[in-house]
Amino acid sequence: MENLQSILQSDTPVLIDCFAVWCGPCKMMPPILKEVKDKFGDKLRIIKIDIDKNQQLAAQWQISSVPTMLLFKNGKLAWRQSGVVPAHQLIPVLTPLL
């Protein structure tokens, strides 16, 4: 299995969905992320990270609310947004960043 650091350093931008099992709004994200994945295909990799199981990462990225999405491009944070963002709003934001 690839480690997270190598995934973030890859040429393919990575959208990380930071979530928690107990988070109600987080349950709205899977269909949104599927729509985003269908739109961008191989141009974007999407990863879900449970902040309760990855508390060190959550602290490192200063995740204070979920869901929070982080877009990494060439290992650098390019975009960040907390809260549920509908696909029709998320796709235009991500397009110029890919």
User: Helices marked H in the chain — which ranges?
Assistant: 4-9, 29-40, 55-60, 87-94
Whether residue 18 lies in the annotated active site: no
**Residue of 14, 15, 16, 26 marked active site:** 26
State the pLDDT at residue 97: 92
pLDDT for 15 beyond 90:
yes
State the pLDDT at residue 2: 65
Q: Tell the CATH superfamily of the 4-97 domain.
A: Glutaredoxin (3.40.30.10)
Given its phi and psi angles, is residue 50 left (phi above 0), alpha (psi -120 to 50 degrees) or beta? beta
Overall average pLDDT of the 4-28 stretch: 94
Q: What is the pTM of this model?
A: 0.94
Predicted confidence band of residue 5 (pLDDT cuts 50, 70, 90): confident
**Residue of 4, 7, 20, 23 marked active site:** 23
State the pLDDT at residue 65: 96
